[in-house]
Amino acid sequence: MLIKNITLIDENYDVIKDTNILIEENTIIYIGKEIPKYYHGEVYDGKNKVASPGFFNTHCHVPMTLLRGYGEGLPLDRWLSEKIWPFEKLLTNEDCYYGSLLGIAEMIKSGVVSFNDMYFNLEGISKAVFESGIKANLSYGYADIEGRKDYFNGPAYKETKALNEYIESINSDRIKADVSIHAVYSSSEESVSKISEYCNSRGMNMHIHLSETELEVAECKKRFGLTPAEYFLNCGTFRSNTTAAHCVYLEGDDFSILKENNVSIAHCPSSNLKLGSGIAPLKTMMEHGINVTIGTDGAASNNNLNMLEEVNLAALLHKGTNKDPLFLNSKEMMKISSLNGAKAQGRFNSGVIKVGNRADIVIYDFDKPHMQPIHDVLANILYSAEANDICLSIIDGKIVYKDGVFTNIDIEKVYYNVNRIKNEKLKIINK
């Protein structure tokens, strides 16, 4: 496929006007002013459009779209124990398949090409990922619950193993199987150490929640005399390539521990604000050189998976709290939401648009009142654009979304099924 005569955000986040991008199978094979004479295939006209690297949503629980807006107006502990957990207990693989398709549609529509997920029913989630065309690092969020304290005899290990087998069978690296420990407070030290060792021995990525609330940190200190970051370091968790979500309450040596162990942080500003958790110290993280990325978290605590909105919020929030309009400039913000996320996922051939990389390209239509005139392309994307301005999304060389239509998702069928599932579960819960 040839994208002709387009404005491009290149690998240094510089803007190149009137250029051409040639894609062969899943890879970008040429970028340049001349249209390759040998090419006679499909052509996309890029006039008044901008080709941008796709976003990497590094923290999500995608089937939780099924719980969007459920149990609003309750304090966190009651919201979890009275609403979220009883609903989640009823979810099947088929339910998670439809919930995931809904979330994936929402993500693709807002410029996401890949996401990190932590949930259960990985069979349903991975089927949705594979069919939709998006990329994802999927993991089972392990916790010592319901007496299942032996990782290797429980569903987390079983589902992770099955996911690895599925990935082999589809022969695609769009899906990766990661390992996940839900959080410090939901597992024993023995479990955390055992799972960390397994993850490291297999060379898999690790995904955790870390220091999300003040209470979590206070209880960890009481239990172990350590901060959650020190605790996971001691358990060997950070020997694997780790993404730690939230990190709102990092302190003291936590920053250098995360930096030295190459831990990436998934900053989830909407979720942290909506759940009243607080505001993560992004400036200190970045001063320590930590790989900061952006995540939406699940739709139950956000309440959407609109990555463009999340990136916009992060940029505004930290300029405001730091009283520094120069903090997180446009190039930095684009890098945090694309390349840094690809690195966190261990996808080193993605994250920027350059020859040799996977063709993960999101195209914005600038022919809109709020996108004109164009002084600064990046600023228009970060501060003026709406998800509806995305007119084409290419992942691994394939068009997954064009002019409001999903190539591989029957969105009406998804709407029908998520509402059917919602009604069925509520009927059981309210019986």
How many whole angstroms separate alpha carbon 265 and alpha carbon 263? 7
Smallest separation, CB 5 to Zn ion (Å) = 42
Kindly tell me which of 122 and 353 has the beta carbon lying closer to Zn ion. Answer: 122
Judged by beta carbon, residue 119 or residue 238, the one nearer Zn ion is 119
C-beta of 268: minimal distance to Zn ion in Å? 7
Stretch that binds Zn ion, among 138-146, 294-302, 384-392, 400-408 (CB under 5 A): 294-302
Span near Zn ion by CB under 5 A; candidates 97-105, 150-158, 297-305, 406-414: 297-305
Please report, as residue ranges, which positions from 183 to 202 form the binding site for Zn ion (by CB under 5 A): none
- Per CB under 5 A, the list member of 117, 159, 297, 389 interacting with Zn ion is 297
Q: Which residues are CB-contacts of 9 (< 8 A; sequence separation ≥ 6)?
A: 15, 16, 50, 51, 52, 53, 334, 353, 377, 378
Binding part of the chain for Zn ion, among 198-206, 292-300, 369-377, 397-405 by CB under 5 A, reads 292-300
Contact region with Zn ion (CB under 5 A), list: 40-48, 190-198, 289-297, 412-420: 289-297
Q: How far is the CB of 308 from Zn ion (least distance, A)?
A: 20
Closest contact distance (angstroms) between CB of 143 and Zn ion is 12
Closest to Zn ion by CB, 227 vs 270, is: 270
DSSP string, 21-62: EEEETTEEEEEESSPPTT--S-EEE-TTEEEEEPEEEEEE-G
Confirm or reject binding of residue 310 to Zn ion (CB under 5 A): no
Q: How near is the Cβ of 348 to Zn ion at its closest, in Å?
A: 25
Closer of 106 and 297 to Zn ion (Cβ): 297
* Contact stretch for Zn ion (CB under 5 A) within 249-257, 295-303, 311-319, 359-367: 295-303
CB 200 within 8 A of CB 239: yes
| Residue in 409, 415, 382, 385 with CA at minimum distance from that of residue 395 | 409
Closest to 49 measured CA to CA, from 394, 409, 408, 395? 394
**Distance in Å, CB of 298 to Zn ion, minimum:** 6
Q: Do 276 and 76 form a contact (C-beta atoms < 8 A)?
A: yes
Alpha carbons 279 and 213: distance in angstroms, whole number: 10
Minimum distance of Zn ion from residue 35's CB (angstroms): 45
Beta-carbon count within 10 A of 352 CB: 18
Helices marked H in 338-410: 339-344, 377-379
Alpha helix ranges (H) inside 171-276? 189-202, 214-224, 228-234, 254-260, 269-274
User: Could you identify the residue written with the tokens 């940029």?
Assistant: 315
- CB nearer to Zn ion: give 297 or 360: 297
**304 vs 322, which CB is nearer to Zn ion?**
304
Beta-carbon count within 10 A of 280 CB: 26
Instruction: Report the nearest approach of Zn ion to the CB of residue 316 (Å).
Output: 22
Binding residues (CB under 5 A) for Zn ion: these are 297
